[in-house]
Amino acid sequence: MLWALLTIGLNSAAQLLLKYSSITDSLSSQYFKLPFLAAAAIYGTSVITWTLALRELPLSAAYPLTAFGFVIVPVAARFIFSETINTGQWLFLSMIVIGISGFALSTNSN
């Protein structure tokens, strides 16, 4: 489970770095700047950690956990980039968390 959670964290961090790269550099130069290169390296690392996660967990249990990234990235973007999340979006982010938690609990009970 630790490898899956690490993968989710790495993918989320890479998304945030790509966003940062897109707002701080021009399109033609962003691919050669540290934030973009770091994001690419982090994605590469996440492939390795995901492979390690799949050694420990069935894919049917591990893959739904990746949906936590759909919660982590917008919430982090709100604080880091001052992006807004409206009430409806908060509601649906909460539903994602409830859905993943329910899925995980039902997987563990079998």
The predicted-structure confidence for 33-56, as pLDDT tens digits, reads as follows 889 999 999 999 999 999 999 999
For residue 92, the model assigns a pLDDT of 96
User: What whole-number distance in Å separates Cα of residue 96 and Cα of residue 56?
Assistant: 24
The total of other beta-carbon atoms located within 10 Å of residue 106's CB is: 10
pTM of the model: 0.87
User: What whole-number distance in Å separates Cα of residue 69 and Cα of residue 53?
Assistant: 16
The percentage of the chain sitting over the pLDDT mark of 90, rounded to a whole number, equals 75
pLDDT, tens digit (0-9, with 9 covering 90-100), for 70-90: 999 999 999 999 999 999 999
Question: What residue ranges do the domains of the chain occupy?
Answer: 2-108
